[in-house]
Amino acid sequence: QWQLVESGGGLVRPGGSLRLSCAPSGFTLDEYAISWFRQAPGKEREGVSCISSRGGRLKYADSVKGRFTISRDNAKNAVYLQMNSLKPEDTAVYYCAATFRACPATGWGARSMDYWGKGTLVTVSS
């Protein structure tokens, strides 16, 4: 069984920070591009960020540029999403997903992802 597991979600005040982690169960990540998606209550799932298999290419949604940073450590077999200056509108369930293809040049390619995690809830509230 191959699976992704997210961790690091929780309740944080506006302006605060969280770091999410994505780790595999049953395989290694070094040949996969990894994306983060999120789904807020009552809204559709949206792409947040993507990192190429070697970390050389990064992609961010306009809504998180300058606040979120995606990174990976293939030696530790993990991918991270550092979230700073959090806003209430960042509240969502965050999912990581892996693809053997590259980060999509256009859009986020959710339907092309090979593996998904179950998600971790991030709540930004005062």
Q: Are strands 120-124 and 10-12 parallel, antiparallel or unpaired?
A: parallel
Model pLDDT for residues 77-86, shown as the tens digit of each residue = 999 999 999 9
Q: Please give the Cα distance from 92 to 112 (Å, whole number).
A: 22
pLDDT of residue 6: 97
Tokens of 110: 């959710």
Q: Please give the Cα distance from 121 to 126 (Å, whole number).
A: 16
pLDDT of residue 1: 64
Model pLDDT for residues 30-73, shown as the tens digit of each residue = 999 999 999 999 999 999 999 999 999 999 999 999 999 999 99
pLDDT of residue 3: 86
pLDDT of residue 10: 98
